[in-house]
Amino acid sequence: MEKRNLYLKTTPVDEAIAIYLKAIKEIWSPIYETIPVTASLNRVTRHAIFAKYCSPLFNASAMDGIAVNSEKTIGANEATPIDLELGVDFKVVDTGDPINPPYDAVIMAEDLIDIGVENKVRIVSAASSWQHIRSIGEDIVVGEMLLPSNHKIRPIDISVLLSAGILEVEVIKCSEVAIFPTGTEIIEPTEEPKEGDIIESNSRMFENMITLLGGIPHRFPTIEDDYDKIKEKIKEATEKYDMVIVNAGSSAGTEDYTVHVLRELGQVLIHGVAIKPGKPVILAIVNNKPVIGLPGYPVSAYIGFENFVIPVINMFSGQAKDKTNEVEAVITKRLVSSLKHKEYVRVKVGSVGGKIVAAPLARGAGAAMSLVRADGFCVIDQNSEGVEAGEKVKIELYRSLQEIENTVVVIGSHDLILDVIGDMMPNTHPNTFVSSTHVGSMGGLMALMRKEAHMAPIHLLDEKTGEYNINYIKRMFKDPMALIKGVGRIQGLIVKKGNPLHIQGIDDLKNHRFVNRQRGAGTRLLFDYKLMEMGISPDEIKGYDREASTHMAVAALVGSNSADVGMGIQSAAKAMDLDFIPIGEEEYDFAIPQTYLDLPIIQSFLDVLKSEKFKERLQELGGYSLNRIGEIQLLREEV
């Protein structure tokens, strides 16, 4: 085996970034540029900015009416009105017209009495001096500080600067960041992937994160795993840009050259940070520029960027990190973490019965969809071994709390119809959302018992009665419960297109590679029930212990010839263009405590469930029967 890199140690996150920022500060000074005010949105001021003009620029009428000398109006009242003559005693003014001596007051048009004499008006009350006049400088005075230094310019600031005669502004230059994907196995998204290829997409995420931070990204084509090429490109980039990101090759694999290149070109301050995911981070300085090596797994790349790239860009732009929205939530699952690292666990967050709950998503570094689906992060400190289910944790929230509160929290068995409802609801019922987490039917009922979900989608066959769902709920819950009827689903065996292995039923499985669903999944219970019925032992099924957590995952494994057969629903087989051998129809319903039925978000959910549009979409998917959809069955506790 070839020599691999060794991490001498992993540095705690806070220590790593502190060391790095300190080192950068020693070699870096801010760069400024002068730009037109009209193009300065979101830029950061170098100096405080002072007004060049007053606003208003002159004493101006604040009303439509006439300008007068207030002394000439003294004594006017109902008994002794005063008549004024145009050109002699007054002139007509519109709002904004200048007022100059001898005039020192404005009388509103509606306070003038028409006496039928041309060029004359009558007044019945005196004007006080300066009434209805906006004084010069009333809003802005010459020399007044308009904006402080280090201020991020907003639309209103641009307007005020221009009003005060400021046409140009000196601002901090935007950081220009070079991004290099590396790796011989990496292909562009536009290429057709072959086995072993990895589609390059991290650089596009970085690019857009930099844009959101106000920086200017420069994304370069992928460099293959070639020491000299990597070295040449990094060296060039540090001469031209403010910062360089090298993606992947930061780990300890046989072809991970980045750290060696950076050691040769400059100084590697940190290699390996106590963070999970994201450990193989490299923090280096080359040619007086920060160069950061980020790991290749998408979640690691994201977390590495958040923790190490953002602080550098913010330092360059003189801005503090945007404060994340932090809430306290109850964690729904035990999270074991190591003292070796700080861990970022992606969570779905919901508000159920007045309690905010956070359900952990897939923890793997490769689980990019966990970032897409996440409502926030639960950060487990390095000095913690984890949290117990039900414990209160701090969540860095990405969605607004208001959105969270308008979300139906669905935890239980997976079905594609949940995605369809989740897609439809915000459109048909603005500001309502559905969040679904897939833990199988039993897992869903457990979440419901712990009051972590509004409803649990389940399909649990009672072996004794042959009835679906109802008995499980009655047995497990003391509080009054209801069942919202969902869909009838054909469960069956998912096999390859054309069924080359001629699988006809469960008794044909023995010599083929099976993929099972996880414990607690309704599909697994049904499978176990069928095995038992037929007197087949799980040991006889090759792959019984290989678990996939959704119907689609089962279909994907069969579709890719990674398994020969799995059990699941027809729509999953159809989506992957596979064959399907029906085993039986089951009832996929929603268990819900009766107290939640009246919540507006649950009513919206029911509206969608019962809508024609929804039925149409399910018919497109196929494999569902819809005759009782949306019916509510109230369940009473067994005595």
Positions 107 through 126 that interact with a second copy (CB under 8 A): 109
DSSP letter at 114? E
Q: How far apart are CA 376 and CA 586, in angstroms?
A: 35
Among 7, 28, 32, 53, binds a second copy (CB under 8 A): 53
Structure-token pair, residue 107 = 């009388």
The footprint of a second copy on residues 138-167 (CB under 8 A) is: 138-150, 154-160, 162-163, 165, 167
Among 21, 24, 43, 55, binds a second copy (CB under 8 A): 55
Q: How far apart are CA 473 and CA 477, in angstroms?
A: 6
Considering CB under 8 A, how many residues would be counted as binding a second copy?
A: 118
The footprint of a second copy on residues 423-442 (CB under 8 A) is: 423, 426-427, 430-431
Residue in 243, 189, 182 with CA at minimum distance from that of residue 216: 243
Residue in 298, 396, 292, 399 with CA at minimum distance from that of residue 342: 396
Please tell me whether residue 561 adopts helix, strand or coil conformation: coil
CB-count exposure of residue 477 (10 Å: 0-12, 13-18, 19+): middle
Structure-token pair, residue 188 = 């562009």
- Phi and psi at 114, nearest 5°, equal -85, 120
Residue closer to a second copy by CB (options 415, 589) is: 415
CB of 620 to a second copy, least distance (A): 12
Residue closer to a second copy by CB (options 104, 589) is: 104
Contact track, a second copy, 22-41, x by CB under 8 A: ---------------xx--x
Residue closer to a second copy by CB (options 190, 383) is: 190
The footprint of a second copy on residues 62-91 (CB under 8 A) is: 62, 64
Residue closer to a second copy by CB (options 52, 451) is: 52
Give the count of alpha carbons within 13 A of 245, CB side only. Answer: 34
Residue closer to a second copy by CB (options 210, 446) is: 210
Tell me the residue type at 145.
Answer: M
Structure-token pair, residue 294 = 């980020």
Please tell me whether residue 606 adopts helix, strand or coil conformation: helix
Is 410 a residue that touches a second copy (CB under 8 A)?
no
CB of 94 to a second copy, least distance (A): 5
b/e sequence 158-194, b meaning 16+ C-beta within 10 Å = bebbebbebeebebbbbbbbbbbbbbeebbeeeeeee
CB of 57 to a second copy, least distance (A): 5
Angle between helices 612-621 and 416-428 (to 10 degrees): 150
Q: How far apart are CA 275 and CA 10, in angstroms?
A: 8
CB of 160 to a second copy, least distance (A): 5
- Phi and psi at 404, nearest 5°, equal -55, -40
Among 185, 236, 462, 607, binds a second copy (CB under 8 A): 185
Contact track, a second copy, 592-631, x by CB under 8 A: ----------------------------------------
Q: How many CB atoms lie within 10 A of CB 434?
A: 23
Is 205 a residue that touches a second copy (CB under 8 A)?
yes
Among 169, 275, 352, 367, binds a second copy (CB under 8 A): 367
Mapping DSSP onto H, E and C, the string for 11-45 reads: ECHHHHHHHHHHHHHHHCCCCEEEEEHHHCCCCEE
CB of 338 to a second copy, least distance (A): 17
Taking CA 520 as the corner, what is the angle to CA 515 and CA 526, rounded to the nearest 5 degrees? 65
Among 1, 6, 79, 639, binds a second copy (CB under 8 A): 1
The footprint of a second copy on residues 286-325 (CB under 8 A) is: 296, 298, 302, 320, 323
Residue closer to a second copy by CB (options 205, 583) is: 205
CB of 627 to a second copy, least distance (A): 25
Only segment of 75-83, 489-497, 524-532, 540-548 that touches a second copy (CB under 8 A): 540-548
Residue closer to a second copy by CB (options 66, 283) is: 66
Is 199 a residue that touches a second copy (CB under 8 A)?
yes
Contact track, a second copy, 248-287, x by CB under 8 A: ---xxxxx--------------------------------
CB of 41 to a second copy, least distance (A): 5
Only segment of 24-32, 247-255, 438-446, 528-536 that touches a second copy (CB under 8 A): 247-255
Please tell me whether residue 466 adopts helix, strand or coil conformation: coil
Only segment of 172-180, 337-345, 378-386, 416-424 that touches a second copy (CB under 8 A): 416-424
Residue in 102, 48, 50, 52 with CA at minimum distance from that of residue 72: 102
Residue in 305, 287, 303, 97 with CA at minimum distance from that of residue 210: 305
